[in-house]
A and B are shown apart, each in its own frame.
Chain A
Amino acid sequence: MMILFADLMSYRLRGVPQMAELVGIYAASHGPMIAREWDRLSADVRGRIEAGFSSVGSRLKAADPDALVIMSPDHWVNFFLNNLPAFCIGVGEEHDGPPEPFLRKVFKHDTLKGHPRFARHILDTALERGADPSASHRLALDHGFCLPLWRMNLDTIPPIVPIVVNEVEAPMPTMRRCLEWGHLLREAIETYPEPIRVAVLATGGLSHYIGQPGMGQIDEEFDRTCISVFEDGDEARIAERLQQAVKKTGNGGDEVRNWVIAHGLSGAKGFELLGYEPLQEIYVGCAFAQWQVQSPRSAAKV
């Protein structure tokens, strides 16, 4: 608190406070078979996956963030039925790398740096707004978080603020609540009193069926619905249509909630599909997107 107070005073003395800046909003699928089966996938599928992750990764590199907020489910690593938060923010100095042996082989990060001060600001903003998330001072980041980081092949991984969203066991947060979380994240970024560049990555989706009838199938109708409602942009329609659509598709479709948070954060505009590949080899309707960021300030690094 002393440090924060001193910082605030220093900003005040300098006059105009230097605030954080939103520099990029992205989404990418994260199927574990991309890592587990990589060497056995066909060259064609590997190429399509690489193209998708590169399209997001190159933009993320260019945005050059000082902090990266990532929304993902926790695939039964940190949480279980005895303790299952709807939303949990990772506020720690560092996080553990992926526990999955197949991912540890290729993504060799035992730990990943956190951004505790910015994470705490998100937590405080959420509490102020009555969202009451859970907080963790050390999360293990499974393939939901780390697989896109691996495939995007970043030179340096920026400090991460992980946000776990329960998308693995009903009941789950409503789409309306996810949009509100997007608004809240936007507010938290815009009110953070440090001149850091913040990017946001939603992972997971679109359709897949895991451990249930239909496993291996891809629900292209669901995927196209998701894409079209994001392109349309209207939040009320997103909330209504996706709330219904996730009930009729496989369990992986529930991860679209992360995309909905990103959409709320974007101001419900600027969605741009970077790639969509219904890839049966990895069981996932694999999609990549960005939301155009309308920043009042220059995107150039200060």
Chain B
Amino acid sequence: MTDYWLNKLFFDLQQQPEKAARFKSDMKAVLADYPLKADLREAVVSDDLATMAPHANAYLLRFYYAIRGVKDDDFIRRLNELPASGGTSNG
């Protein structure tokens, strides 16, 4: 199920380079602006792709990992390691 605030975070980071820079230096300060569910907030902090993916739009998820500086090869490997039921919300 698509989660509004998780995707809003990804969308804002894509649209606002300043926010993306702040996210890198002080993630928790940026997250304070988003009323994320506890498990999704923790998933962002701990970089838990398997928890985020079912609630994320796939395109926004890709933008997010690009913004975090993850190379495509690593991102693809991690996507392909997700449990079978773990695809993104709009697959």
B61 contact set on A, CB distance < 8 A: 211-212
List, in ascending order, chain B residues with CB within 8 A of A214's CB. 79-80
Question: Of residues 190 to 223 in A, which have CB atoms within 8 Å of B's CB atoms?
Answer: 210-216
Cβ of A81 under 8 Å from chain B? yes
Interface code A225-251, partner B: CB below 8 Å = 1, 0 otherwise? 000000000000000000000000011
Decide: A210 and B76 in contact? CB cutoff 8 A.
no
List of B residues within 8 angstroms of A168 by Cβ? 57, 59, 90
Given contacts A81-B11, A211-B60, 18 further A-B contacts (CB under 8 A): A76-B11, A76-B59, A80-B8, A81-B4, A168-B57, A170-B89, A210-B58, A211-B56, A211-B58, A211-B65, A211-B79, A211-B88, A212-B87, A213-B86, A215-B62, A216-B72, A251-B58, A251-B88
Interface of B is mostly: helix
A75 within 8 A of B: yes
Interface 0/1 of B3-38, CB less than 8 Å to A = 010011001001000000000000000000000000
What would 22 A/B residue contacts be, using CB atoms closer than 8 Å? A76-B11, A76-B57, A76-B60, A80-B7, A81-B4, A81-B7, A169-B89, A170-B89, A210-B59, A211-B59, A211-B62, A211-B63, A211-B65, A212-B58, A212-B88, A213-B80, A213-B82, A213-B87, A214-B80, A215-B75, A215-B80, A216-B76
Chain A residues near B62 (CB-CB < 8 A): 210-211, 215
**B69 is an interface residue with CB less than 8 A from chain A:** no
> Digit string of A93-125 for contact with B (CB within 8 Å is 1, else 0)?
000000000000000000000000000000000
Q: How many A-B residue contacts, CB cutoff 8 Å?
A: 69
List A contacts of B86 (CB < 8 A).
Answer: 213
Check A251 against B11 for contact (C-beta < 8 Å). Answer: no
Nearest-neighbour CB distance to chain B for A74, whole angstroms, equals 10
Nearest 5 Cβ contacts at the A-B interface: A211-B62, A211-B58, A211-B61, A212-B58, A212-B88
User: Are A212 and B91 neighbours in the complex by a CB distance under 8 Å?
Assistant: yes
Which chain B residue shows the least CB distance to A75? B59
